[in-house]
Amino acid sequence: MRNPDNRPIDDMVFDCCKELFSDYSLDVRPRSREEFPAAERLALCGVMGFGGRQMRGALVLAATREPLEKSNPGGFSSQRDWICELANQLMGRVKNRLLNVGVEILLATPAGLSGDNLNPTPGKLRAPQVFAVENGFVCVWIDCELAEGFELLMTPSGSFEAALPEGETILF
């Protein structure tokens, strides 16, 4: 396995993150790492591992408390549980898009972390993608390795039938 140029997968995660929060009626706006205020505290993290023949890695979704409250307006359950579910839904979207470009991965179940001031530093110290959401921030890292000789091409592939889109309901 080797570390790829992360740009294509970062772009995919960026789109998926925007779509995910949009589905919960939240507008996320990309920010540079430098715009992340020093006073902000990442309180919760959801971590999703994934693996497959062509690629493997982990996705980390970290957030301040406000976006979690806004995206779960009923206040159901714990925010730790909710960020795990959001990480799961984000990685599910990434999986479905990877499938559409011919890459099949399997997902692990999510793990959650909570703390006063989390500072995730995934492999190779990749910089996170930072989003401003309502009155808070969301950061996303994706850390992946590709199999030797495999190139991640973001062009539609006929290798697999297209994944069902999020929100889709089908009855058999």
Q: Residue 5 or residue 104: which is nearer to other proteins going by CB? A: 104
Instruction: Find the shortest distance in angstroms from Cβ 160 to other proteins.
Output: 7
Distant-in-sequence, close-in-space partners of 94: CB < 8 Å, separation ≥ 6: 9, 12, 13, 16, 59, 142
Tokens 């390795």, residue located: 145
Using CB under 8 A, pick the residue from 62, 67, 95, 133 that binds other proteins. Answer: 95
Compute the distance between CA of residue 51 and CA of residue 107 in angstroms, rounded to an integer: 7
Compute the distance between CA of residue 50 and CA of residue 144 in angstroms, rounded to an integer: 9
Using CB under 8 A, pick the residue from 76, 119, 125, 155 that binds other proteins. Answer: 76
For residues 101 and 155, the answer to whether their CB atoms sit within 8 Å is yes
Query: H-type helices in 2-78, by residue range?
Result: 7-23, 65-71
Residue 109 engages other proteins in binding (rule: CB under 8 A):
yes
Residue 117 engages other proteins in binding (rule: CB under 8 A):
no
Tokens 């772009």, residue located: 11
Give CA 164 to chain center in angstroms: 18
Using CB under 8 A, pick the residue from 4, 102, 107, 134 that binds other proteins. Answer: 107
Using CB under 8 A, pick the residue from 10, 85, 134, 145 that binds other proteins. Answer: 85
4-33 footprint of other proteins as x/- string (CB under 8 A)? -------------------xx---------
Instruction: Find the shortest distance in angstroms from Cβ 168 to other proteins.
Output: 5
Q: Which residue from 159, 134, 141 is spatially nearest to 91, judged by alpha carbons?
A: 141
**Positions that interact with other proteins (CB under 8 A):** 23-24, 72, 74, 76-78, 81-82, 84-85, 88-89, 91-93, 95-96, 99, 104, 107-109, 160-172
